[in-house]
C-alpha cells in the first residue's frame, strides 16, 4: 500500500511536469494552468538547500514558510502582534531568562507522525549543532553545541523550556522563534534518514519533514520546485492541490507566459513589463514593502576598499535616485540605513547622493587621485545586473574602474561567504521582525578571524568593529522600547558614515497575477509570502 501511494504521487508529479513542458521559451505551446494548480514564474537559482536548519535565501525561505510551521508567528499587517503557531502559549521566568512553551496538541506532520515537544526541542538543538548560516539566530541567545541540550529541554509531552544566557528583551526571543531556522521538523522521520550522527542533514537538504499547508514534492535545481497540499495540515486546507515554482529568470519571458495564461503569477517583472501589463484587464498587480535592503559590501581585505576615504567616495558614486526612478521603478525606494522602514528605530535619513567631485577629492585624500580597479560579484538576474551596470558607469566618472563578475545565486553567495570577493551587490532580508536582526549582521562582528563561528555580513566583509559590536550587544538587552529605538538611530548614523556598506534601497516586492487568482499574500519577509489562501475563479 505504501509503495502504491508513492507511485501515485510520482505519477502526479510527472504529469504536472509534462503538462507544463519545462521549457522557459515564451513561444512554447503550453496548456492553461489547471484550476487546482498554482504556477509561478520566478528566478529560483538561489535555492541551495531545503533544510530549515540551513535555509538562508529568499526563494527557499518562501518555500519553508509555506511548508513548515515555526514555533511563533505574528500578524502580517501589524508585526507587533505576536502569537503562537506550533507553540500554543508561553510564560517567562522572573529573571527573564527561561521561557516555558506549551505546544499545540493538534499538530501532525505530513508523514502522519504527531508533533510533540520532543520534535520542537530536537529541531532547535539540531539547528544549533548543525551550525549552518542561520544558526546564529538561536545561538545569539546563549546557545552552543556544548550547552544546547541542557538549555533547551523537554519537560513534558507537550512542554519544553528555553533558557537564555541573559535577560534579553522578550520580544527579541520570540521574534527569533518566528524565523525559518525555528521551523519544527519531524524527528522520527529525519532520524530514520540520519547517517553518522548528521541529524539527517544529508537527506533533508533535498527532502521534506514538515507540517505546513503544503509539502515539498520535488526540487529540480534551476528548473522547478513542486509543492503538494498536505492532508494532515491542522489549519484550513489550501484550495490548490499543488503549486509549481518554475525557474523563468527572464522578465520578458515571464510576461509573455503570464499573458498567455501559462503561468498564474510572475514574480520578477521589470518596469517595462509592469508598464506593458498595466492596461491588461486579465492581469492584476500587487505589491508590498519588504524588510529587505539592497547594498554593496566592500571587502576590507582589499587594501583600497579598507581606506575610509574610499568607502566614503564610493557612497558618493552611486546615482540612487536615477536607479530608483528607472531600473528599480516600482520595485525599490531609496533607503540608506541598515534597518528597513517598519522596524523599531528605523532611520530614514539619506545623506548620500551622486557627487563626482566630492568622490574624486576623497579618492585623492586616500592617495588614489587616478582611481583604481576593482571587481564586483553580481547575481545574473535582470534587476541586479542592471543596477550593477549603472553603478559601473557612475563609478567610472570618479575614476573607479569596476569589472562585473556575473554568476548565479549559488556561485555569488558561495564566494561572498568565503569573503574572497572585492565588492558584492546583494539583498539582505530581515530574518525576524526585531531590529537586532539587521544590527546583528551589519553592525556586529564578534570574531573577525577566518575561522569564526558567527559569520554575519560585517564578517563577510572583514570589518573588525569591537566598539560597535558592544553597542549592538547593549541595544539587544534594552527593555525600554523608546530608549532602544534611540540606540538604534545613533548606531545607524555612525554606521552610514564609517561602514563598508553602501546601502541603497528598500525593496518593494511586486507580483503580477492572472485576474482569476486571489489570495496570494506578499508579507514583510519572504517566509511570510503565502500561497496557502490562493483560490481561482
pLDDT tens, position by position, 455-512: 999 999 999 999 999 999 999 998 888 999 999 999 999 999 999 999 999 999 999 9
Position 13 scores a pLDDT of 43
Smallest CA-to-CA distance from 429 within 443, 441, 420 is with 441
Whether 28 has a pLDDT exceeding 80, the answer reads: no
The full set of domain ranges for the chain reads: 289-509
Position 32 scores a pLDDT of 81
Spatial distance between the Cα atoms of 136 and 134, rounded to a whole number of angstroms = 5
- Class of the CATH domain delimited by 289-509: alpha beta
Q: What is the dihedral of CA 181, 269, 377, 62, to 10 degrees?
A: 10
Spatial distance between the Cα atoms of 253 and 274, rounded to a whole number of angstroms = 13
- Give the start-end residues of each E strand in 356-422: 372-379, 400-407
What's the rounded mean pLDDT across residues 211-220? 98
| 400-407 and 535-536 beta bridge pairing | unpaired
Whether 21 has a pLDDT exceeding 80, the answer reads: no
Confidence label for 111 from pLDDT (cuts 50, 70 and 90): very high
Confidence label for 16 from pLDDT (cuts 50, 70 and 90): very low
Position 298 scores a pLDDT of 98
Confidence label for 148 from pLDDT (cuts 50, 70 and 90): very high
| C-alpha to C-alpha distances, 365 to 6, 46, 297, 303, 357, nearest whole angstrom | 68, 39, 22, 15, 12
The x, y and z cell numbers of residue 403, run together, are 569589472
**Which neighbouring-strand residues pair with 219?**
225
Whether 319 has a pLDDT exceeding 60, the answer reads: yes
Position 10 scores a pLDDT of 40
Whether 8 has a pLDDT exceeding 60, the answer reads: no
Position 11 scores a pLDDT of 33
Whether 423 has a pLDDT exceeding 80, the answer reads: yes
Position 31 scores a pLDDT of 54
Position 90 scores a pLDDT of 98
What's the rounded mean pLDDT across residues 218-235? 97
Residue 40 near residue 245 (C-beta atoms within 8 A): yes
Amino acid at each position: 500500500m505504501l509503495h502504491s501511494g508513492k507511485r501515485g504521487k510520482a505519477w502526479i508529479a510527472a504529469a504536472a511536469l509534462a503538462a507544463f513542458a519545462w521549457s522557459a521559451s515564451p513561444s512554447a505551446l503550453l496548456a492553461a494552468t489547471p484550476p487546482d494548480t498554482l504556477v509561478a514564474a520566478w528566478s529560483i537559482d538561489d535555492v541551495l538547500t531545503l533544510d530549515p536548519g540551513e535555509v538562508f535565501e529568499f526563494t527557499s525561505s518562501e518555500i519553508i514558510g509555506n511548508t513548515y510551521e515555526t514555533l511563533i508567528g505574528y500578524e502580517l499587517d501589524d508585526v507587533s502582534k505576536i502569537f503562537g503557531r506550533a507553540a500554543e502559549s508561553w510564560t517567562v521566568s522572573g529573571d527573564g531568562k527561561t521561557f516555558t512553551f506549551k505546544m499545540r496538541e493538534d499538530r501532525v506532520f505530513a508523514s502522519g507522525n504527531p508533533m510533540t515537544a520532543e520534535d520542537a526541542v530536537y529541531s532547535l538543538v539540531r539547528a544549533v549543532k548543525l551550525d549552518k548560516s542561520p544558526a546564529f539566530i538561536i545561538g545569539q541567545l546563549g546557545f552552543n553545541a556544548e550547552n544546547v541540550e541542557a538549555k533547551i529541554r523537554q519537560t513534558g509531552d507537550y512542554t519544553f523550556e528555553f533558557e537564555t544566557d541573559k535577560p534579553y528583551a522578550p520580544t527579541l526571543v520570540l521574534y527569533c522563534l518566528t524565523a525559518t531556522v525555528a521551523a519544527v521538523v519531524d524527528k522520527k522521520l529525519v532520524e530514520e534518514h540520519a547517517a553518522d550522527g548528521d541529524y539527517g542533514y544529508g537527506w533533508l537538504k533535498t527532502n521534506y519533514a514538515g507540517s505546513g499547508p503544503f509539502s515539498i514534492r520535488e526540487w529540480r535545481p534551476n528548473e522547478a520546485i513542486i509543492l503538494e497540499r498536505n492532508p494532515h495540515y491542522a489549519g484550513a486546507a489550501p484550495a490548490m492541490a499543488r503549486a509549481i515554482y518554475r525557474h523563468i529568470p527572464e522578465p520578458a519571458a515571464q510576461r509573455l507566459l503570464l499573458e498567455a495564461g501559462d503561468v498564474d503569477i510572475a514574480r520578477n517583472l521589470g518596469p517595462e513589463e509592469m508598464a506593458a501589463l498595466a492596461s491588461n484587464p486579465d492581469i492584476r498587480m500587487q505589491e508590498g514593502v519588504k524588510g529587505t535592503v539592497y547594498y554593496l559590501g566592500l571587502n576590507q581585505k582589499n587594501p583600497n576598499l579598507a581606506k575610509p576615504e574610499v568607502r566614503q567616495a564610493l557612497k558618493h558614486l552611486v546615482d540612487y535616485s536615477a536607479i530608483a526612478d528607472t531600473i528599480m521603478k516600482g520595485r525599490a525606494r531609496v533607503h540608506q540605513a541598515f534597518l528597513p522602514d517598519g522596524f523599531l528605530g528605523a532611520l530614514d535619513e539619506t545623506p548620500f547622493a551622486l557627487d563626482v567631485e566630492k568622490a574624486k577629492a576623497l579618492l585623492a585624500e586616500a592617495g588614489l587621485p587616478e582611481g583604481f580597479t576593482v571587481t564586483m560579484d553580481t547575481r545574473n538576474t535582470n534587476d541586479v545586473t542592471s543596477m550593477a551596470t549603472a553603478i559601473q558607469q557612475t563609478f567610472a566618472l570618479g575614476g573607479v574602474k569596476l569589472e562585473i563578475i556575473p554568476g548565479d545565486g549559488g556561485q555569488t553567495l558561495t564566494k561572498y561567504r568565503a569573503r574572497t570577493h572585492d565588492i558584492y551587490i546583494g539583498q539582505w532580508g530581515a530574518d525576524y521582525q526585531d531590529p537586532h536582526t539587521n544590527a546583528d549582521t551589519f553592525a556586529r562582528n564578534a570574531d573577525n578571524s577566518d575561522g569564526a563561528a558567527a559569520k554575519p555580513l560585517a564578517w563577510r566583509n572583514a570589518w573588525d568593529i569591537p566598539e560597535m559590536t558592544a553597542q549592538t550587544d547593549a541595544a539587544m538587552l534594552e527593555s525600554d522600547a523608546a530608549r532602544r529605538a534611540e540606540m538604534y538611530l545613533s548606531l545607524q548614523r555612525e554606521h552610514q558614515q564609517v561602514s563598508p556598506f553602501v546601502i541603497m534601497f528598500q525593496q518593494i516586492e511586486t507580483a503580477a497575477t492572472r485576474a482569476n487568482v486571489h489570495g496570494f499574500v506578499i508579507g514583510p519577509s519572504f517566509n511570510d509570502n503565502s500561497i496557502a489562501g490562493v483560490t481561482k475563479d
